[in-house]
Structure 1
């Protein structure tokens, strides 16, 4: 149920046909005939033929979860990342691989990642004091509301793919200083330990690879300034073509997903991040039948609903992650959006679970 008083305008981001086809092909290798079943059961009516074909990004986690069930391979996302050919990511890979340093390569990858999958935002966050840089993957829109197994597989696929790309670009078996994954630890963590070759923290707020700055500042052997300029020009053209299909509501939601963790961003701050003025943003949202308040409510509800599905998180932590600093305010808002308290909503996802708040549901606090 969407927040009351708003349209059900959850952004439906797109993903390149190759993202779907790579999963189908790999699943078919593990279980012959899997691709046709997955097409019929998950992707019915979605056309994936043609160089420029795209499908709904929220179907990717659903497809991964169905593939795991069909192939009985629990670490499917990790295996897919390891087997992937970097060239399948298209022009974005060449723009990244010809960068002067690994950091610059990841920055290029972050800029063009949406050409592959708009449902996940790739970001670099630098802690200059600790001399560490995180490569963070944030699900957004309907992708963030996917079932836990699908989100887990998608996050593991994305995190492992970023690491495999780094190894491909450098020609060296690089590893992060630490890895954080948003899911609870599976029964067998050995596949994760083998591919990441680094300490892993589970049930983190978002998936991230954390590198020493020195590792990211190493030069790339394939650096070619002329070639990078040529392929970057093509990537920018593709990015511009994709952006013209976006509504201002979708762009506002995307900006909010990156700002909510810092509290309650006001419209002026969001407008600035989008390169426009507060008044212009208000006018454009109104033309689409939205208001800034309705959009921020929708984003918070989407995020909260997805996070509450993970029972490893306290409701206090969920409140903080969606921008509430007081637990009581989060309870009031969630009841307004859904007609239920967060505890009641969580109970509805797990039959037989108690609707009483758990002991760890203390007032909202910052999660390290």
Structure 2
């Protein structure tokens, strides 16, 4: 019963890779436990906490969680970082982070509240006795780094950072790191942002992602030999729309500078519908994503804007007559 009571979810395996990279950079001993999680897609939060404690016992640096977070790369956050690369504003990125946060850590919902002119983003579901200052530090620092990876460093104004544990002797170190007031012994670990920051635009789009999207668009167009320039633009709009969960006909037609009726009429002339076109894109992308062994079915489902993995699995079986697992296995065994 105690095990069930203390179970608080799992973390993304990429965070294990982050700790490995940090340990190597600092010349630390790589523990057997850290070695064991390197090939895991996910592992228990309790192991994550133990790994951080092991590192803390080896290296005595103030604000260890902040130090570790400095080594994070998009690959350590997984598909959530990949999706964020297609966002255009801070508000959009935070919205996607909220939706997909469970991919990084599924034991606690991300709580977002507004008070006066401020947005509070926090983690309140984890029992206090199961957290440490380091686990809270790295959770908040990773989210800040998540944003800084895609925006100019000085362009985000954070109002305050709150931690639940008592204040350490070096508060100034935290305030220098976050560039804002940092409070300790607070009810919730959270980030406080002025609401006006949500409209902040990202720097120029990531060229790697842009190239990938263009490849995907071309692959789709190759399967539509009679496509027009409008179809080309439609494919691209659906591709990026799926990653932003904004693929419905209203925002897509607006992006194309058309009314919904005009877009529907164009598709009717091709004996298809908007929903069919979305499913075509999803099908082709699904097969492309399934070829990547590093993407889990849940990650693929979210990339395709399915709220549940089961919905993606049903759709894929409808398209191909096989489950995603069966299709992937056949691809792996094919010569």
Bin of the TM-score, shorter chain as denominator length: 0.5 to 0.7
Output one character per residue of 1:41-87: Cα deviation in whole Å (capped at 9) or x when no partner: xx58x55416xx21112221221122111112232210121221134
Please tell me whether residue 101 in structure 1 is matched to residue 55 in structure 2: no
Give CA-to-partner distance per residue, 1:261-317, whole Å, 9 cap, x none.
Answer: xxxxxxxxxxxxxxxxxxxxxxxxxxxxxxxxxxxxxxxxxxxxxxxxxxxxxxxxx
SS at match of 1:119: coil
Matches of 1:203 and 1:243, distance apart in 2: 42
Partner of 1:229: 241
2-structure distance, mates of 1:231, 1:19: 23
Residue 186 (structure 2) aligns with: 204
- The residue correspondences of 1:46-195 to structure 2 (distance < 5 A) are 46-49=36-39, 53-127=41-115, 130-140=116-126, 145-146=129-130, 151-173=132-154, 174-195=156-177
List gaps (5 residues or longer) in structure 2: 211-236, 246-288, 290-298, 313-335
Secondary structure of the 2:180 match is: coil
Partner Cα distance (1:188, 1:10) in 2: 31
Higher relative contact order by CA 8 Å / sep ≥ 6: 1 or 2? 1
Q: Which has the higher helix share?
A: 2
Contact 2:13 / 2:38 at 8 angstroms: preserved in 1? yes
Q: Distance in 1 between matches of 2:133 and 2:190?
A: 13
Any stretches of 5+ residues in structure 1 without a counterpart?
245-368
SS of structure 2 residue aligned to 1:208: strand
Query: Do 1:97 and 1:220's aligned partners in 2 also have CA atoms closer than 8 Å?
Result: no
2:268 equivalent in structure 1: none
Q: Deviations over 1:11-70 (max 9, x none)?
A: 4522221112211320232133x22x2x34xx58x55416xx211122212211221111
CA contact (8 A) 1:15 1:56 kept: yes
| 1:220 Cα deviation from its structure 2 partner | 2.3
**TM-score (ref. length: structure 2):** 0.59
In structure 1, the partner of 2:226 is none
- Larger C-alpha radius of gyration, 1 or 2? 2
In structure 2, relative to structure 1, the CA distance for the partners of 1:222 and 1:196 (3 Å cut) is same
| Structure 2 CA distance for aligned equivalents of residues 84 and 132 of structure 1 | 27
Q: Distance in 2 between matches of 1:110 and 1:183?
A: 24
Equivalent residues in 2 for 1:249-268 (5 A)? none
| Shift in alpha-carbon separation, 1:114–1:137, aligned structure 2, 3 A | same
Alignment of 1:278-293 (within 5 A): none
In the TM superposition, residue 155 of structure 1 has moved relative to its aligned partner by: 1.0
Residue-by-residue CA offset, 1:196-235 (whole Å, 9 max, x unaligned) = 1101111111111111111122222356865543445774
- Confirm whether residue 14 of structure 1 aligns to residue 10 of structure 2: yes
| 1:293-352 superposed Cα distances (whole Å, 9 cap, x missing partner) | xxxxxxxxxxxxxxxxxxxxxxxxxxxxxxxxxxxxxxxxxxxxxxxxxxxxxxxxxxxx
Decide whether the 8 Å contact of 1:17 with 1:54 is kept in 2: yes
The equivalent residue for 2:253 is none
SS in 2 for 1:182: coil
- From 308, 319, 326, the counterpart of 1:240: 308
**Cα distance in 1, alignment partners of residues 243 and 204 from structure 2:** 14
How far does residue 166 in structure 1 lie from its aligned partner after superposition? 2.0
The partner residue of 1:31 within 17, 27, 30 is 27
Aligned to 2:263: none
> Are the counterparts in 2 of residues 184 and 203 from structure 1 also a CA contact under 8 Å?
yes
Aligned length: 225
- What is the TM-score with the length of structure 1 in the denominator? 0.54
